[in-house]
Amino acid sequence: MKTNLKEWKSGVNNGIPIAMGYFAVSFTFGILAKQAGLNPFEAVLMSVTNLTSAGQFAGLTLLSGAAAIVEIVMTQFIINSRYFLMSFALSQKINPNTSIFHRMTMAYGITDEVFGVSIALPRKLSPYYTYGVMSVAIPGWALGTLLGVISGNILPPRLISALSIALYGMLLAVIIPPAKGNKILSGLIVVSMGMSLIFAELPILSSISSGLKIIVLTFVIAGFAAIVFPVKEHAYE
C-alpha cells in the first residue's frame, strides 16, 4: 500500500507540469468549442471522453462542417490510432500479472505526454504512477475546457494564437530531459523531426492525414530503433 501511494505521489509531481500545459491548450479548445456551438457540458464531456488535442480539434472542425457520423468516427480512429502503439509499449514496462482492470484504466488516460513521462521511467512502471499523472492531467484538461467555453469570445485573437502553441512547448518538455546524455535517443528525435518535415513538404506525402503520418513514422522509427538498439529487460528492473 505504501509503495502504491509513493508511486501515485511521484506521478502527481510529474503530472503537474502536464496539467498546466493542458490547461492552456484546452482553454483554447474551449473557446473554439463555444464558437462551434457546444455548451459547457458538451465541451467538457468531449474533453473527458476523448483525451486527445488533435482528435478534439479535428472533431470540432467536422462538427462545424456538419460531417457525417461515419466520417467523424473514422477520422478519430485514424488520428487516435497512435495510442494503440503507446499502450503496446507501456504494456512491456508493467508487471505481466497486472490485472485487466488496471490495464484498461491506464489505457483510458494515455496521451502523448502521459505516455512520455511513463515510458521515460528508468524502472518498471506501476499503474499507480500513471494514475498519479492522470489524476492531475485530466482535471487540468477538463477545467481548461470549461473556462474556455465560459470565456467565449472575450479574449483577443493574438492571445488565443499564443495559447495554441502551448502544446508544442509541453511536448518539448517531455522529450528533452530524457534525451540529455543519451546519444541514441537524441539521434532518433532528430531523425523523427527530419522525417516529419519530409512528410509535411513532399506533395505526394503531405496529403496523408496527420494521424496516419504519426502511425507510419512511429512504426518505421521505433521499429528500426528496437531492432538496432534494443533495450534489455533488466534495464527497467
Q: Split the chain (237 residues) into runs of 10 and give each run's mean pLDDT.
A: 83 89 84 83 89 78 75 77 84 87 90 86 87 93 90 70 63 72 82 86 75 71 79 55
The answer to whether residues 118 and 62 belong to one domain is yes
The residue from 158, 174, 190 where one domain ends is 174
Q: Are 117 and 133 in contact (CB under 8 A)?
A: yes
The answer to whether residues 189 and 157 belong to one domain is no
CA atoms in the 13 A half-sphere facing the CB of 20: 8
The pTM assigned to this predicted structure is: 0.68
The answer to whether residues 150 and 225 belong to one domain is no
Per-residue model confidence (pLDDT) at position 165:
65
Per-residue model confidence (pLDDT) at position 31:
82
How far apart CA 126 and CA 118 sit, in angstroms, is: 9
CA angle, 83 then 41 then 20, to 5°: 55
The answer to whether residues 221 and 127 belong to one domain is no
Domains contained in the chain, number: 2
Per-residue model confidence (pLDDT) at position 153:
63
Q: Are 43 and 149 in contact (CB under 8 A)?
A: yes
Residue 91, amino acid? S
The answer to whether residues 151 and 197 belong to one domain is no
Handedness of CA 59, 64, 65, 68 (dihedral sign): positive
Per-residue model confidence (pLDDT) at position 162:
67
Per-residue model confidence (pLDDT) at position 168:
65
Per-residue model confidence (pLDDT) at position 152:
67
Per-residue model confidence (pLDDT) at position 134:
92
The residue from 121, 144, 174 where one domain ends is 174
The residue from 174, 199, 221 where one domain ends is 174
Distant-in-sequence, close-in-space partners of 90: CB < 8 Å, separation ≥ 6: 106, 110, 115, 118, 119, 125, 130
Grid cell 457520423 in the structure block, residue:
69
Q: Are 27 and 147 in contact (CB under 8 A)?
A: yes
The answer to whether residues 146 and 232 belong to one domain is no
The answer to whether residues 45 and 157 belong to one domain is yes
The answer to whether residues 131 and 157 belong to one domain is yes
How far apart CA 30 and CA 36 sit, in angstroms, is: 10
Per-residue model confidence (pLDDT) at position 141:
92
Grid cell 483554447 in the structure block, residue:
28
Domain extent, residue 206, equals 181-237
Handedness of CA 118, 72, 165, 37 (dihedral sign): negative
Q: How far is CA 68 from CA 50, 55, 85, in A?
A: 18, 16, 27
How far apart CA 65 and CA 59 sit, in angstroms, is: 10
CA atoms in the 13 A half-sphere facing the CB of 130: 27
Handedness of CA 16, 119, 122, 106 (dihedral sign): positive
The answer to whether residues 160 and 192 belong to one domain is no
The answer to whether residues 134 and 216 belong to one domain is no
